[in-house]
A and B are shown apart, each in its own frame.
Chain A
């Protein structure tokens, strides 16, 4: 698997604007986020100004511009989860971890992202940590959950 930005870019033809989104996706898949360095490099490879690459990337919620924490928390922002109290969850996370949507804790352990409907509305509210779903979760459960995670990762 290619790891560096240069290697990923090399797979796409120089100056091909249509490759922009696939390149950005692949970089994010490999590196976890779009760094400034990556955006500038992609721009020079595809012959696009970095302002444009950044503008397009920020259009999509999918792209991140700060590295993820080791544990990435996705909170469902869909309608049912919203009604069932996903906002309260976010407030609780803010209280426990001091992070908002799109931010990472200082120690780099947790990062938070609000996502659109995860399709588990019957189990609302839903959060997902590194691919593991936690359903019908209440704010009180969060402290325990985060403590467990911290303990397990040493």
Chain B
């Protein structure tokens, strides 16, 4: 790779041959504001916020899309540049609703931040405000096109990263807006609810659907038992929302805080993840020994389930029939826990806190009810949970650690691993090894499954079985492998699919402003927990064993089939 010198703001920095001006600046810690740029994707150069002054060039140059050249003398914050950027923001604000106080993204909005940074203090341009209607049709994503600044990030993430293309620019010129096909509701589109668009939206145009008033009412209704379960990912993410180090594990503090808020019972979804692994492994073993449909796909990611129902109905028979851990937990709570505590299932309000937007969609699937009672009544994202904690005025740093409630208190390392891409597969391999040989897997870590590659493959011999595993890391990386499977590839036995890049730690409900660094820290934290935890497989989880002894009997029993399994149906949407 060839390096050369360029001059930026009077200082000499090193630039790499072929990179953009922006990438050279970023590497040298010179920050330039951007609204349409997404790191790792092709530049689009639409917002013109990143313009810089280059000596000898007449016009300003967009740093995000212009290749750096050897002779360049760049000024990134000259008066001319600042003026251009400020005018840009003022023009974007000219038809903006201007209701920051009431906006979902207040305090978390890039447009607002740049307006503040550039000292915009008056409305200089009066544009006609657009009167677009909000789109509340989706169970997971709420759209407010009036707030959209047409940067196109959501469209590019949806198309280039996730390969769904549910959103697109509609119309032209000042009538252009972003929307799904035929500008209909999101519920009719091919959206898989992964929420990656929300993560990149610089304004409040795309947010998660929420019902805070309902939750408040339930929390303060003495007749209702409020129960919350926390995803394995949450304990290593929540800290970021309170200014702590990304990846810091605050599991115990989190449980204590939730009790202070008023939840009557607090559970860890990692327990249900153990249950999920046990049931999933059982199903996989059954399929292998009885000649069932192989490879078997994981079923824990609701975005993947919707993807398969829309795009690959032919593969639905290959997807595990196990409900996801969230739904298993919900089902166990409303059927086992209520029996234990002698509570009527309808007097329970079951909340789950997840790093995921698609879980909101999953919770309201009609297959996810038992005798007319929903397994999970409300799903909160990490962001919503943090907001709830702030609403209740709890200082996270002053709270003593507590444990999750019995009877689902303990978990194995495997349960926690579901938070990261490749983690489920590693857990399934451990469980299979234990089921087949009766011993723990001698391999402590499987590095092939811990990389950040798009598609990871690993094969291993357990007992007499030679088994192949694959991991799809991000929905956009799925088509290639799925095509291979559909055209007859048969050396794989289990395939894990996670719709969000990096797994649940990179989910659409995580702290806003996607930052690759903090996602890495969360992944690291999960693997550290795995290293420290002596109980590696679900079969050694005492709480889980107790649940099987007293209630479910064994994986795959009639009770399990009844409560923990689901089915999938081809879904008609606008593809």
Binding stretch for chain B, among A51-59, A76-84, A87-95, A107-115: A51-59
Residue of B nearest to A53 (CB): B181
Given A39-B182, A43-B575, A44-B575, also A51-B165 (CB < 8 A): yes
Residue of A nearest to B172 (CB): A59
Q: Is the CB of A51 within 8 A of B172?
A: no
Q: Is the CB of A58 within 8 A of B170?
A: yes
Interface residues of B in 153-176 (CB under 8 A from A): 164-172
CA of A147 to CA of B174 in the docked complex: distance in angstroms? 36
CA of A89 to CA of B183 in the docked complex: distance in angstroms? 30
B574 surroundings in chain A (CB, below 8 A): 40, 50-51
Q: Is the CB of A49 within 8 A of B172?
A: no
| Contact mask for chain B residues 177-211; partner A; CB cutoff 8 A; 1 contact, 0 none | 00011110000011000000000000000000000
A36: interface (CB < 8 Å): yes
Given A40-B574, A44-B575, also A51-B166 (CB < 8 A): yes
Given A36-B182, A40-B574, A54-B182, also A49-B171 (CB < 8 A): no
B189 surroundings in chain A (CB, below 8 A): 51
Minimal beta-carbon separation of A124 from chain B (angstroms): 24
Interface residues of B in 300-334 (CB under 8 A from A): none
Interface centre among B169, B189, B190 (most CB of A within 10 A): B169
Given A36-B182, A54-B182, also A49-B170 (CB < 8 A): no
Residue of A nearest to B177 (CB): A58
CA of A58 to CA of B172 in the docked complex: distance in angstroms? 7
Q: Is the CB of A58 within 8 A of B171?
A: yes
| Contact mask for chain A residues 50-77; partner B; CB cutoff 8 A; 1 contact, 0 none | 1111110011100000000000000000
| Contact mask for chain B residues 128-171; partner A; CB cutoff 8 A; 1 contact, 0 none | 00000000000000000000000000000000000011111111
Minimal beta-carbon separation of B180 from chain A (angstroms): 6
A51 surroundings in chain B (CB, below 8 A): 165-168, 180-181, 189-190, 574
CA of A87 to CA of B167 in the docked complex: distance in angstroms? 34
Given A40-B574, A44-B575, A49-B575, also A54-B171 (CB < 8 A): no
A54 surroundings in chain B (CB, below 8 A): 168, 170, 181-183
CA of A49 to CA of B191 in the docked complex: distance in angstroms? 11
Minimal beta-carbon separation of B31 from chain A (angstroms): 33
Sorting the interface of chain A by its residue count into under 10, 10 to 19, 20 to 34 or 35 or more gives 10 to 19
Q: Is the CB of A49 within 8 A of B169?
A: no
| Contact mask for chain A residues 26-44; partner B; CB cutoff 8 A; 1 contact, 0 none | 0000000000100110011
Interface residues of A in 8-48 (CB under 8 A from B): 36, 39-40, 43-44
B164 surroundings in chain A (CB, below 8 A): 49
B170 surroundings in chain A (CB, below 8 A): 54-55, 58
Q: Is the CB of B182 within 8 A of A52?
A: no
Q: Is the CB of A49 within 8 A of B182?
A: no
CA of A82 to CA of B316 in the docked complex: distance in angstroms? 58
A36 surroundings in chain B (CB, below 8 A): 182
CA of A50 to CA of B181 in the docked complex: distance in angstroms? 6
CA of A40 to CA of B190 in the docked complex: distance in angstroms? 12
Minimal beta-carbon separation of A59 from chain B (angstroms): 5
Given A49-B190, A51-B574, also A59-B182 (CB < 8 A): no
CA of A58 to CA of B167 in the docked complex: distance in angstroms? 14
CA of A59 to CA of B189 in the docked complex: distance in angstroms? 20
Residue of B nearest to A60 (CB): B172
A55 surroundings in chain B (CB, below 8 A): 168-170
Minimal beta-carbon separation of A48 from chain B (angstroms): 8
A49 surroundings in chain B (CB, below 8 A): 164-166, 168, 181, 190, 575
CA of A36 to CA of B180 in the docked complex: distance in angstroms? 13
CA of A51 to CA of B190 in the docked complex: distance in angstroms? 9
CB within 8 A of B168: which of A40, A44, A52, A60?
A52
A40 surroundings in chain B (CB, below 8 A): 574-575
B168 surroundings in chain A (CB, below 8 A): 49, 51-52, 54-55
B575 surroundings in chain A (CB, below 8 A): 40, 43-44, 49-50
CA of A133 to CA of B165 in the docked complex: distance in angstroms? 43
B172 surroundings in chain A (CB, below 8 A): 58-60
A50 surroundings in chain B (CB, below 8 A): 181-182, 574-575
Residue of A nearest to B163 (CB): A49
Q: 6 tightest CB-CB pairs across the interface, nearest first?
A: A55-B168, A49-B165, A51-B181, A51-B168, A50-B181, A59-B172
Residues of B in contact with A (beta carbons under 8 Å apart)? 164-172, 180-183, 189-190, 574-575
User: What are 27 pairs between A and B in contact, CB < 8 Å?
Assistant: A39-B181, A39-B182, A40-B575, A43-B575, A44-B575, A49-B164, A49-B165, A49-B166, A49-B181, A49-B575, A50-B181, A50-B575, A51-B165, A51-B166, A51-B168, A51-B180, A51-B181, A51-B190, A52-B165, A52-B168, A54-B170, A54-B181, A54-B182, A54-B183, A58-B170, A58-B171, A60-B172
